[in-house]
Amino acid sequence: MTNSDLAVDATGLVKRFGDFTAVGGVDLAIEPGEVFGVLGPNGAGKTTTLSMLATLLPIDGGRASIFGVDVASSPHQIRQLVGVTGQYASVDENLTGAENLWLFARLHGRSSKQAKALADDLLGRFGLTEAAGKQIKDYSGGMRRRLDLGASLISSPPLIFLDEPTTGLDPRTRSQMWDTIRDLVANGSTILLTTQYLDEADQLADRIAVIDRGLKVAEGTPSDLKTSVGESSLQLRLSDKSLIEEAALLVKRITGSSPVLTPEAGGLNVPLPDANQAADVLIALRQASLSITSAAVQQPTLDEVFLALTGHDTGQPDAQSDARETESEEARR
């Protein structure tokens, strides 16, 4: 495959805001039809990278092309190839859902009638038909995101940028959003997704690049990344603490390694190279009549990924609630 066939082909992308280097030379190579995840904490440069590729910010160094079209020299063409869904819904607060989609469809050159039909269609597709006549300021966070995503699809762009599509959404809305994104992939869209959540990247992305402080620190498939940072573990707590030795023997027989014990609490921490073994362990305990009070599978967290990849943590004690300010400031600076 030649480079012009790549959906995104970026080499040494640099963005500086004054003395601060937000992006310090990032390379990206994304195949058509692929879902590519950019994973990193707040302020890592994810949004800035996306903004440069979407022609929203000038590129200070390096070069980028999208489907073989140069980003810096042909911004108008790039805008026809890319649909952008921002971190914060980029829709008009004062207009209704239907009016928003009509407006964007008109700006894309549809006739008033076509725009109306397209708006109705998209509202239906994103489960917003009932809210069509409501102003966006009365929408919930999840509804805004869905409308925003709908707006990005008006021109059926072959490449879609999703900037933290589920940051700040509740778990149910998040999984709805994931389903919507999977539909897009099934329809042949190429997707560049940024996220702060390893599980989101894991769920959606074919390949992931981890970005930290404006630099790419790792790239690979989700399973590559996870193996590189360690495995998940099963946390168990026994009802009867005195049976802990017996339980440990049983677990060792199944997983092949000794669990870490906390005898005073009746706790076992079972490393799981293969997540299927969690069920095996639970069934074996049940058959041996060893009752438990709690069981939880723990994935490696983004913090652990970062610790493993960069030697420092994400520096974000509460990533979710800080998400809004930091990145938007970064993008506007």
Partner 1 sequence: MSALMAERSIQAAKQRLTPRPTPRETVSQTITMAWRALKKMRRNPEQFFDVIIQPLLFTAMFSYIFGGAVSGSVKDYLPIVIPGILAQTALTACMATGTQMREDMEKGVFDRFRSLPMSRIAPLAGPMLADVLRYGIAATLTLATGFAMGYRPGGGVLGITLGWLLVIIAGWSMSWIFAWLGTIARSAQAVQGIGMMIMFPLTFLSDAFTPKDTMPGWLQHFVAINPVTLVIHAVRDLINDGNITANVAWALLGCLVIVAIFAPLAIRSYSRKV
Contact 108, 114 (CB under 8 A): no
Contact 308, 212 (CB under 8 A): no
Which part of the chain contacts partner 1 (CB under 8 A), choosing from 96-104, 122-130, 259-267, 319-327? 96-104
Nearer CB in complex with partner 1: 17/24: 17
State the Cα–Cα distance between residues 305 and 322, nearest whole angstrom.
20
Cβ 328 to partner 1 shortest distance, Å = 9
If one asks whether residue 126 binds partner 1 (CB under 8 A), the answer comes out as: no
Cβ 275 to partner 1 shortest distance, Å = 26
Nearer CB in complex with partner 1: 113/332: 332
Residues 157-196 that bind partner 1 (CB under 8 A): 157-158, 185-190
Which part of the chain contacts partner 1 (CB under 8 A), choosing from 20-28, 153-161, 274-282, 284-292? 153-161
Nearer CB in complex with partner 1: 182/237: 182
Q: Which of 14, 29, 56, 295 binds partner 1 (CB under 8 A)?
A: 56
Q: Which of 21, 62, 106, 310 binds partner 1 (CB under 8 A)?
A: 106
Contacts of 133 (CB under 8 A, 6+ apart): 96, 97, 98
Q: Which of 3, 16, 20, 58 binds partner 1 (CB under 8 A)?
A: 58
Structure-derived torsion over alpha carbons of residues 17, 201, 28, 317, reported in degrees to the nearest 10: 30
- Positive or negative CA dihedral for 85, 87, 90, 93? positive
Pairing of strands 35-39, 207-212: parallel
Residues 11-40 that bind partner 1 (CB under 8 A): 32-33
If one asks whether residue 2 binds partner 1 (CB under 8 A), the answer comes out as: no
If one asks whether residue 310 binds partner 1 (CB under 8 A), the answer comes out as: no
> In Å, how far are 93, 141, 237, 282 from 293, measured between CA atoms?
48, 36, 6, 12
If one asks whether residue 119 binds partner 1 (CB under 8 A), the answer comes out as: no
Q: How far is CA 160 from the centre of its chain?
A: 13
Residues that bind partner 1 (rule: CB under 8 A) add up to a total of: 49
Nearer CB in complex with partner 1: 253/333: 333
Contacts of 321 (CB under 8 A, 6+ apart): none
Cβ 106 to partner 1 shortest distance, Å = 4
Which part of the chain contacts partner 1 (CB under 8 A), choosing from 48-56, 253-261, 290-298, 310-318? 48-56
